[in-house]
Amino acid sequence: MLALSQDLELREFCTALNAGRTAEFMEGLDDADVWRVLQFAEPERRAEIFGYFDEDRQLAMLADEPAAETARLIEEIPADDRVDLIQGLPTQAVDEILPLLPTSERRDIERLRSYPEGTAGALMTTEVAKLAEKLTVSEAFDELAAIARDLETIYYLYIVDDNNLLRGIVSTRQLVSSLKHKSRTLGELMETDVVAALAGEDQESVAEKVERFNLLAIPVIDSGRQMLGIITHDDVIDVVREELTEDAQRIAAVEPFDDDFLRIGLFTLSYKRGLWLTILFFAALLTAFALRHYESELAVNAWLVWFIPLIISSGGNSGSQSATLVITAMTGGEVELSDLPKVLSRELRVAFMLGGFLAAFGFLVALFVAPSAVAAMVIPITLLGVIMCGCLCGVTLPILFKRLGLDPALMSNPFVAGIVDILGIVIYINVARLILG
């Protein structure tokens, strides 16, 4: 259509479908073409469609647009999203754009930018339905009718007094079901026990509240109960996704990073990984010293060497499983600190079953290579011991970490594995000593 520059069709294309799908259809086009198509949409609509592209593409599209163009677009983007966008733009571009915006908008953007990443303040939007207590139901509807189209959500109305202090909340649902009593005031309808977030509050605890209370949006207030804005459900989903992804990364001993995997700088990435790899490297060095210490035993029974990787990886794997299960269970709120005894007793039994099972296999294999059936017993006994060790470390360390007030996910699988490696070798050689004399 672009090629044939069928303006009408393009205008149609920008309006007929819902914005998200319009964006989806254009995924294939290159940035310049997308931008050209967007010019056929009304400013408001343009911003809406634009919002469905991921940040990379948004920034790419704006890269060589004149500041005026960008400013016009930014005016139409919801308050919370446009701040994220601006964070991504080169500073001198921002300095050109901001002056072009209406003062009120500029102030708003600057205030939102001032909140540090990961706080409620940085997530919130300031476009919210704030109404006065004394309004009647019908007055409220008229108010709403006037402001609705500029707001991200009107599903909760926030009741504030003249000093902008949050007094209560009325859901549109309540309002609608009170349509028959037009003269009742919002003050009578409102729920005064409002679940709110503080501007400085950590985004994970905000998400936790929204989930627990099944909210569509949560109001953000300052320490003085001043109503600052709201955080909407879509931002909450993003937080949950972010939180759990960071968990998974910590579990694998990577320092989490904000940026996309394909966008983060290679040196930063190497640092975030190297940090832990180095720690784990020195942990693993201990195994080298242990083995050196047991040199004589290994020299006499060379066949013991063959099973070293098998034994330490069995311990490490069972440990990783346990650690991951406990860490995810704690993130999901299924396991509390107080559950440690229960967790341990369950794990003990599971570990025994798993260890016994693999020990049996180990014995069969050992029979072929060990000098005698008695000597072969070294392998199953070690495996059972190492696997039980791995499982118990795996469940205990994260819970201990949590009790110490640290992030349990920091007690990553490789870390557990590292500890189990050393234990494994010590157990191995000592079992061997006992049995082979």
Q: Are residues 340 and 396 in contact, defined by beta-carbon separation less than 8 angstroms?
A: yes
The reply to whether 344 sits near its own copies by the rule CB under 8 A is no
The reply to whether 354 sits near its own copies by the rule CB under 8 A is yes
The reply to whether 13 sits near its own copies by the rule CB under 8 A is no
Cα distance between residue 353 and residue 387, in whole Å:
10
Closest CA to 337 of 292, 396, 279: 396
Cα distance between residue 379 and residue 311, in whole Å:
8
Among 36, 134, 346, 403, the residue binding its own copies under the rule CB under 8 A is 346
The reply to whether 254 sits near its own copies by the rule CB under 8 A is yes
Among 98, 100, 240, 344, the residue binding its own copies under the rule CB under 8 A is 240
User: Which range binds its own copies by CB under 8 A, 30-38, 104-112, 236-244, 429-437?
Assistant: 236-244
Among 12, 20, 373, 434, the residue binding its own copies under the rule CB under 8 A is 20
Q: What does the buried/exposed string (b/e) look like for 368-382 if buried means 16 or more CB atoms within 10 Å of the residue's CB?
A: eebeeeebbbbbbbb
DSSP for residue 98 = G
Q: CB-wise, 42 or 334, nearer to its own copies?
A: 334
Q: CB-wise, 70 or 314, nearer to its own copies?
A: 314
Q: How large is the C-alpha radius of gyration of the chain?
A: 30
User: Which range binds its own copies by CB under 8 A, 66-74, 90-98, 113-121, 362-370?
Assistant: 362-370
Tokens of 386: 């190492």
Tokens of 130: 């704030």
Among 244, 300, 373, 404, the residue binding its own copies under the rule CB under 8 A is 244
Instruction: Please give the backbone phi and psi of residue 357, each rounded to the nearest 5 degrees, phi first.
Output: -60, -50
The reply to whether 183 sits near its own copies by the rule CB under 8 A is no
Please report, as residue ranges, which positions from 28 to 67 form the binding site for its own copies (by CB under 8 A).
52
Q: CB-wise, 109 or 210, nearer to its own copies?
A: 210
Q: How far is the CB of 368 from its own copies (least distance, A)?
A: 10
Tokens of 36: 């050209």
Closest CA to 62 of 41, 40, 99, 87: 87
Please report, as residue ranges, which positions from 271 to 330 form the binding site for its own copies (by CB under 8 A).
273-274, 276-278, 280-282, 284-285, 287-289, 291-292, 295, 298-299, 302-303, 305-310, 312-314, 316-318, 320-321, 323-329
The reply to whether 125 sits near its own copies by the rule CB under 8 A is no
Q: How far is the CB of 166 from its own copies (least distance, A)?
A: 14
Which x/- pattern, by CB under 8 A, does the window 81-120 give for its own copies? Answer: ----------------------------------------
Cα distance between residue 133 and residue 256, in whole Å:
45
Indicate the burial class of 257 (C-beta count within 10 angstroms; 0-12, 13-18, 19 or more). middle
Q: How far is the CB of 8 from its own copies (least distance, A)?
A: 19
Among 18, 39, 87, 372, the residue binding its own copies under the rule CB under 8 A is 18
Q: Count of residues binding its own copies (CB under 8 A)?
A: 122
- Annotate 136-170 with DSSP letters as a single string: BHHHHHHHHHHHGGG-S--SEEEEE-TT-BEEEEE
Q: CB-wise, 227 or 254, nearer to its own copies?
A: 254
Q: Are residues 135 and 178 in contact, defined by beta-carbon separation less than 8 angstroms?
A: no
Cα distance between residue 328 and residue 244, in whole Å:
9
User: Which range binds its own copies by CB under 8 A, 4-12, 37-45, 110-118, 243-251?
Assistant: 243-251
Tokens of 62: 């704006």
Closest CA to 133 of 92, 93, 163, 94: 163
The reply to whether 369 sits near its own copies by the rule CB under 8 A is yes
Closest CA to 93 of 112, 73, 108, 107: 73
The reply to whether 423 sits near its own copies by the rule CB under 8 A is no
Among 32, 145, 337, 404, the residue binding its own copies under the rule CB under 8 A is 145
Q: CB-wise, 71 or 351, nearer to its own copies?
A: 351
Q: How far is the CB of 325 from its own copies (least distance, A)?
A: 6
Q: How far is the CB of 133 from its own copies (least distance, A)?
A: 18
Which is it for the CA torsion 66, 69, 73, 75, positive or negative? positive
